[in-house]
Amino acid sequence: MTLPRITALTARHVRVPLPRPWGPDVPANHLVVARLELDDGRTGTGFSWTPRAGASAVHALLMRDCKEAVLGLPAHPETVWDLLWNRLHEAGSGGVTTLAMAAVDTALWDLRAAAAGHGLADELGRRRESVPVYGSGINLHYTRDELVAQVGRCVARGASAVKIKVGHASCAVDAERVAAVREAIGPDVLLMIDANQRWDLLRARRALTALAPHDPYWIEEPLLADDLTGHVRLRRECGLPVAVGENIRTVHGFKQWLDAGACDVVQPNVARVGGITPFRRIAELAALYSVPVVPHLLPDVSGQLACALPLPTMVEDVEDASFAALGLLRDDGPVEITGARLRTTGRPGLGLDFALDGLTEVAP
């Protein structure tokens, strides 16, 4: 049977205000929504996403190089991804390149799952009916009282794990905030901490020594995301599980970190790695090292991916930052979160019916 072929690619870039800004410099996120048309009349919807930088470049790459490359290709995600990679990676092995490729790849998986009459998790090979959710926030700029209130809302909704930001100039400030959060959530709720690359090795050692009494479940991105050697040393010395991956962009990059023994958890972002096709390859690779994959952000899609992952996992739910919570969908979307669990709703394809009217469209 001959696969249908791609006949058109269009894309829109919109600015999405955040009800809870991620800091003074991040009042909004940027969403690029792509639409693929096939010669049999079907259409698929894909997306890419970035908080601050690069969305206009992603849109431009989609509408020029990607469009030129994919027209006439068979609508097969892996085939198109590999051909696009060969065509585009001279522009960079990650960043704008993979962000643009993600929009095409997710649209192709939307088409593939919808054609089979089920959702993404079932198309990938469902391994579980639901996954645990941990409450999260971009909250380094919150006051201590605001931070404690946020984790309190997470626990009140039923979350059995929460994550907060660390990385203040003063280690004592971090210790005070983490202590207050631990007191608020009690000893049985898992507490993850995320430094977002703010430390060097010296500061990380001091900070983690101070924070260890509060029983952090993992430390996320303690050092610059490119510092493989530093993470290996810190993981060996601190005795605390290390999570990385939101800023690793390629399968080859994840292999280097896994080979080096630099992490206990990997957190690929489906948009940043280039879509569902490379995300699957990363997940299978990590399973060979017995390292769990915990998808980064975007629970509307990450939750569906998590239901098909080889190893047990969790899903991050940043407060008021999912596609559904931001009002970007015409309905409740493809997942639902009840208490501490996320379940899929059974909508075919990716289940993302974007509603972009009223948002600021960014000119090409």
pLDDT in tens, 55-74: 999 999 999 999 999 999 99
- pLDDT on residue 56: 97
Mean pLDDT of 330-342: 94
Given a cut of 90, is residue 364 above it in pLDDT? no
* Region label for 195, one of left (φ > 0), alpha (ψ between -120 and 50) or beta (otherwise): alpha
- pLDDT on residue 2: 86
296 is catalytic: yes
Tens digits of residue pLDDT in 12-25: 999 999 999 999 99
**105 is written with which tokens?**
């790849």
**185 is written with which tokens?**
């959530």
Q: What is the DSSP letter of 354?
A: B
Mean pLDDT of 178-190: 97
Structural domains present in the chain: 6-117 (3.30.390.10), 122-344 (3.20.20.120)
Given a cut of 80, is residue 158 above it in pLDDT? yes
- pLDDT on residue 363: 77
* Region label for 227, one of left (φ > 0), alpha (ψ between -120 and 50) or beta (otherwise): beta
- pLDDT on residue 207: 97
- The DSSP result for 278-337, as a single string, is HHHHHHHHHHHTT--B---S-HHHHHHHHTT-SS---EEEETT-STTTTT-BSSS-SEEE
Given a cut of 80, is residue 47 above it in pLDDT? yes
Q: Which of 279, 329, 285 is nearest to 305 (CA)?
A: 279
Given a cut of 80, is residue 361 above it in pLDDT? yes
Mean pLDDT of 305-326: 97
- pLDDT on residue 337: 96
Q: Which of 266, 263, 326 is nearest to 299 (CA)?
A: 326
- pLDDT on residue 339: 86
Given a cut of 80, is residue 30 above it in pLDDT? yes
Given a cut of 90, is residue 148 above it in pLDDT? yes
- pLDDT on residue 301: 98
For residue 2, with 0-12 CB atoms within 10 Å meaning exposed, 13-18 middle and 19 or more buried, which class applies? exposed
Residue in 30, 59, 165, 231 annotated catalytic: 165
Residue in 30, 59, 163, 296 annotated catalytic: 296
Tens digits of residue pLDDT in 285-298: 999 999 999 999 99
Return d(Cα 301, Cα 106) in angstroms, integer: 10
- Band (155; pLDDT cuts 50, 70, 90): very high
**Percent of the chain at pLDDT exceeding 70:** 100
Mean pLDDT over all residues of the chain?
97
> Cα angle vertex 143, ends 139, 147, to 5°?
50
